[in-house]
Structure 1
Amino acid sequence: MQNKHGDFVWYELQTSDIDAAKRFYGPLLEWQFSLSSAEAPRYETCLAQDNHIRQTHEVGGILELTPEMQEGGCSPAWLGYIEVDDMTQACKKLTDAGGKILMPVKSINDVGDVCVVSDPQNAPFYLICSSGAKNSLAFAHDRPRPGHCAWNELVTSDKNAAQAFYQSQFGWTQDGSMDMGDMGSYDFIRHRNMIGAMMNIPAPGLPPFWNFYFRVANIDKAVKYITDNDGTITQDPMEIPGGEFVISAQDPQGANFQLIGTRGDS
């Protein structure tokens, strides 16, 4: 089934050292890599195995930040791509609603039109109007798939305003919430399927951002791997409803990421 307007379809790591990033994420998420562009900025595609259908498919990419990009303020980070039906209309609608265009629209052969934008609270993400009818499986909404993104989480300065914005742009709707005490509610977001959640920033002074939770088979083994390979655990394993555990971490180049998985002997 072809992706729809408002779907998460791609995840991109922007990093200062693409070879080091491949060495770190490859064993952690069981990824293979394919060179997409050798010219600056260098780009590698991330491939994950889907054991259910015994196929390997693309789940994201790694972009190596050029010195000029870094001098312009870019730093290592993960960004998500959201599909749109019409790039021109989507950009106008976004700016009319208070969003910003951070990088002008760029056409990429065999990919489509892409641009970097931010919501009114300044959380950055990509828009993409894909060429062709290819269906992305990068976000595993239907079943657990190791090496795939399992959850998309917006941490923002104004959750209610953010929900109204994303609903107006992509048709996302709130579907339940979880009380987090002094931190407020954790509001679940649906777009045909459950895609993630939104919450207010827990500490003052932090800029809004998106978190992306990638699935691993064993969260404890992942924690050990991260600490043994110059990564940093920024949130220890925390149990979530359903019995799985999540962590937050930082890769050796400083990009934040999240993992979800079970504990035990798996």
Structure 2
Amino acid sequence: MATVDGTPIWFELNATDPAAAQAFYEGVADWRVAPSSMPEHGGYRIAEADGRPVAGIRQTMPEAPGLPGWAVYLATLDVDATAAQVVDLGGKVRFGPVDIPHVGRFAMVSDPQDVVFALMTPENSAVSRAFGPVPLGTEHTLGHGVWIELATPDPEAALAFYGTLFGWEKLGAMPMGGMGEYAFIGRGDLRPGAMMSSAATGAPPRWSWYVHVADIDCALAMVRERGGTVLQGPDPIPGGSYSAKIADPLGNTLGLAGRRRTS
């Protein structure tokens, strides 16, 4: 998939205990996690699935307090220009823009509803494989991100903001009764996820992402075994798969999606 503006290209955990986070997610997401081979990355840990980097785990940054546990990185051709546009549209720049050696340039920002996300311009033109929104029955997305989700107190204002920033539109919706609607978002062939009302659902305002697991029940059993919590699910989703939301032992939340292979 072409890396157009708004494409999810990286996922990063801001962890108070990176070693504990690594142990948890290696079991739950079946990742191989190892420190970056580049000394200038300061021990940054890179999670791989099928030999491809999909996510990072870093030590909490004292110079950037208040950032979320898991952050969603969205592509842009020009981080500085897009960060300035975020401010013009009523958002904030929380950190950066700064260069990451051999990776690219990034900034942590928040939208007008104060939901944090990251912007990144990769250093080279290689297409990120961290995200692959294809049917979950295909094995080559195991361990990769397959969906992003925004819980926001003002979906209409959020859609206007991200629509201006990335050209996203509302591409249909699924009614959720008294909890409003689950609105699908994207542009053209890029359909990365959905948004919903945090006020109506009671969900904390934030960007979330879902990783593809081979067996949702086995993954949830591993969550519990390793000290995490299952917050919701497994719930059926279109296509015969199931989704769930979890919290790791440090309280960081993540979505899982996959089939049920156990009876």
1:121-162 deviations in Å (ceiling 9; x for gaps) = 111000111111111011112343110111100000000110
Corresponding position: 1:58 with 2:53: yes
Alpha-carbon deviation of 1:236? 2.6
Match of 1:13 in 2: 13
Match of 2:216 in 1: 219
1:53-73 deviations in Å (ceiling 9; x for gaps) = xxx21111001115x358x44
Same amino acid, percent of matched pairs: 36
1:43-95 deviations in Å (ceiling 9; x for gaps) = 1111101xxxxxx21111001115x358x4456x1101111111221112111
CA RMSD in angstroms comes to 2.1
Question: Matches of residues 79-228 of structure 1 in structure 2 within 5 Å?
Answer: 79-144=71-136, 145-191=141-187, 192-202=189-199, 207-228=204-225
Partners of 1:18 and 1:160 in 2: how far apart?
36
TM-score for the superposition, normalised by structure 2: 0.91
SS at match of 1:25: helix
Q: AA paired with 2:113? A: Q
Distance change in 2, residues 1:220/1:241 (3 Å) = same
Aligned residues: 257
Distance change in 2, residues 1:125/1:198 (3 Å) = same
Distance change in 2, residues 1:69/1:104 (3 Å) = closer
Alpha-carbon deviation of 1:34? 2.9
Alpha-carbon deviation of 1:265? 3.2
Q: AA paired with 1:214? A: V
Partners of 2:144 and 2:41 in 1: how far apart?
27
Distance change in 2, residues 1:161/1:28 (3 Å) = same
Partners of 2:86 and 2:131 in 1: how far apart?
23
Alpha-carbon deviation of 1:193? 2.6
SS at match of 2:97: strand
Q: AA paired with 1:209? A: R
